[in-house]
Chain A
Amino acid sequence: MRPLGVRLVAVFLLWLAAGWLLLGWSQGLAFWEDAKRDLRPEALTPFGDTTPPPWAPIGPFLAAAVLAAAVLVLTRKLGGFRKA
């Protein structure tokens, strides 16, 4: 894959990592609790329970870490940011 494609994929991965980090951070804020009141119950209760599972805070940060690692591997293995 040539540099443009590598950079594009890296930008997507970083965007997603930032998104997951933002989500993890926002869950600790009051506006997450406020927002729940403005959502239909089915948006929050696929497991039939309004209480988030105990592992819920881990998910976003795990996702962000995996994606950030993917960017590192991608750029190192494919040389995406080196000058041609």
Chain B
Amino acid sequence: MSEVVAEAPLAVSLATSPLVRSRRLGDYLPRHALYAALLGVPAVVLAALLSLPFPAAQGPGFVVVGILAAPVVEEASKLAMVVWMGRRLGVQASAEGWLVLGACVGFGFALVETAGYALVFGATPAGMAYVGLSRMAFLPVHALTAGLAAYGYGTWKEGRGAGRFAAGVALAVLLHGVHNGFGFLLGGAV
């Protein structure tokens, strides 16, 4: 199977690989992917609730929240949806399948978050469009980090040790924090 996947274009691989299966959704990856992306919505709600102890700050506090608190809270929220798929929905997947599902949760999360930022930070419809479109460039941050954390979860489910799970989550939080840190190099104007 891996030979087939290696030589097929990425989109074809994603559409045809029997990487995941569940009682409810069968073994059709796009169906699982769509479901995972929809879970981005409750993930944003959960992240908003978990962020309540960290109100928006100015100056150094803004950096602390953005680099430390926000990555931890957001990665935990996305991972909660991935774990929910595994435990409550009974999804069975390879570690790589979990990477894909995690990335889908991350994309859903990023789309909802971007829509929220556009509404909050755009003073005019043009400003909202600017925020929404410019943040399209950064959608993969959430997909990448959620995918890495979910990959760790997948390796743990395969019985390859909790260390890989912890490493996946830690790497996701670190990458997220570094990305946000780059944003602060711009004075926060991302």
B144 contacts A2, CB within 8 Å?
no
Contact of A55 among B19, B143, B185 (CB under 8 A): B185
A5 contacts B96, CB within 8 Å?
yes
Chain A nearest CB from B114 CB (Å) reads: 12
Complex alpha-carbon distance, A46 and B60, angstroms? 9
- B130: chain A residues at CB < 8 Å are 35, 38-39
- A59: chain B residues at CB < 8 Å are 182-183, 185-186
- B184: chain A residues at CB < 8 Å are 46
B124 contacts A5, CB within 8 Å?
no
Report A's interface with B, CB cutoff 8 A: 1-5, 7-9, 11-13, 15-16, 18-20, 22-23, 26-27, 35, 37-40, 42-49, 51-53, 55-56, 58-60, 62-63, 83-84
Given A5-B96, A23-B190, A40-B123, CB of A62 within 8 Å of CB of B10:
no
- A26: chain B residues at CB < 8 Å are 134
B189 contacts A52, CB within 8 Å?
yes
User: Which residue on chain A has the smallest CB distance to residue B124?
Assistant: A38
- A60: chain B residues at CB < 8 Å are 182, 186
Given A16-B144, A62-B185, CB of A11 within 8 Å of CB of B10:
yes
Contact of A1 among B124, B134, B151 (CB under 8 A): B151
- B10: chain A residues at CB < 8 Å are 4, 7-8, 11
Most buried by B among A11, A19, A42: A19
- A35: chain B residues at CB < 8 Å are 126-127, 130, 134
B: contact size bracket:
35 or more
A44 contacts B189, CB within 8 Å?
yes
Chain B nearest CB from A33 CB (Å) reads: 12
- A9: chain B residues at CB < 8 Å are 99, 144, 147-148
A12 contacts B140, CB within 8 Å?
yes
- B147: chain A residues at CB < 8 Å are 8-9, 12
Complex alpha-carbon distance, A47 and B61, angstroms? 10
B143 contacts A12, CB within 8 Å?
yes
16 further A-B pairs in the complex, CB-CB below 8 A; given A13-B144, A44-B189, A53-B185: A3-B2, A4-B17, A4-B96, A5-B96, A19-B140, A20-B182, A35-B127, A38-B126, A40-B127, A43-B131, A46-B58, A52-B186, A56-B185, A56-B187, A59-B185, A62-B182
- B143: chain A residues at CB < 8 Å are 12
